[in-house]
Amino acid sequence: MDHHKTDNPFSDHLFEYRTVEKKRLLLSLLITATVMIVEVIGGLITNSIALISDAGHMFTHSFAIAVSLIAIIIARKPPCHHRTFGLYRAEILAAFVNGLFLLLIVITLIYEAILRIIHPLEILAFEMLVVALVGLGVNLLSIFILQGSIKKDLNIKGLFYHIIGDTASSIGIVFAAIVIYFTRWTFIDPLVSLFISLIIAIWAFGILKDSTRILLEMTPKGLNIEIVTKELRDQFPEIKNLYNVHFWTITPEMLVFSAHMKVNNPMSDKDHKQLMSGITKYLRTNYNIIESTIQLSQ
């Protein structure tokens, strides 16, 4: 029996979806933490800052997954009298935290890479290559596990960017290990770390921008209140005017709309209910708005 069933079909669907994501995240956490330990040991043995940096990124990745799991557990708690939308925003907050940690790890990676450029160390290139290939394989597996969820969940999107960064880092380390093995150009190792750090920083700013937009309850990305208002008036001739229009996001898949409405002519209760039903259906079908509140004004 599903202990999270409610009277709201949307909530039931969302809870079912969260259960699937939880299993994916647990599997990703297990394999990521394992490879993180391997990379820490490998980095210490080979003197590779790239491996050490990747292990640090793996740590933030593992931390991000742990935060995500906690957020999903919190979000599964049903709405109540003082949490009318439940705690779905916990996932957005987790995505914001993930973005901040990405920036912190980028600063650390850049600092360590610069130190290695100034004070280079001998690197065991072959051993470095072996560890990097293991990390690359696991990152590709994590991408396969989570790729079906990134369009639905901003938090999963943040984690997916973590993994993409890990994968790019692993590819860079493989390349660096091959070059160092044949040329002994050890400066390649910290240069790869610097390059990957810049890419991760760009992704981190993207996640912070998206999550901040939602936390500040700005209009959903890519949507315009004026366009939606015009479409409603064109679609429903009964509408004379819409004002005090508000359009915001609970999570990327939960959009909410509210407005005051004036109609051209007085309406019976039946016509009023039919108009409201039509508007609600239109907003849900065309904009995936799960809840719309429209107040009729005289």
| Identity of the residue numbered 204 | A
DSSP 8-state class, residue 149: G
CB 224 within 8 A of CB 148: no
Q: Is 231 exposed, middle or buried (0-12, 13-18, 19+ CB in 10 A)?
A: middle
Cα-Cα-Cα-Cα torsion 63, 207, 162, 47, nearest 10 degrees, comes to: -90
Residue 244, token pair as written in the block: 């005090």
Distance CA 143, CA 145 (A): 5
**pLDDT of res. 141:** 81
Structural domains of the chain, ranges and CATH numbers in brackets? 9-215 (1.20.1510.10), 225-296 (3.30.70.1350)
What would the 3-class secondary structure string for 156-189 be? HHHHHHHHHHHHHHHHHHHHHHHHHHHHCCCCHH
- pLDDT value at position 214? 77
Residue 83 has phi, psi (to 5 degrees) of -135, 75
Burial 157-167 (b: 16+ CB within 10 A, else e): bbbbbbbbbbb
Given CA atoms 228, 229, 233, 238 in this order, what sign does their dihedral have?
A: positive
Residue of 139, 160, 137 whose CA lies nearest to 21? 160
**Please, what's the largest Cα pairwise distance for the chain?**
84
At 104, list the tokens: 């912190």
Q: What is the pLDDT along the chain (298 residues), one digit of tens a residue?
A: 344 444 444 344 444 434 546 777 788 788 888 888 888 899 889 988 888 877 777 776 777 677 667 766 766 665 555 454 556 677 777 778 878 888 888 888 888 889 889 988 888 999 999 998 988 888 788 777 766 655 555 556 666 766 776 777 788 889 889 999 999 899 999 888 888 778 778 877 877 888 888 787 777 776 777 878 888 888 888 888 888 887 777 766 677 788 888 888 777 778 878 888 888 888 888 777 777 778 876 5
Which run of H or E residues covers position 289? strand 289-296
User: Which own/partner contact pairs does 213-220 have at CB distance under 8 Å and 24+ positions apart?
Assistant: 213/249, 214/89, 214/92, 214/154, 214/249, 214/250, 214/251, 214/252, 215/89, 215/92, 215/93, 215/96, 217/248, 217/249, 218/248, 218/249, 219/247, 219/248, 220/247, 220/248, 220/249, 220/255
Cβ burial, residue 277 (10 Å; 0-12/13-18/19+): exposed
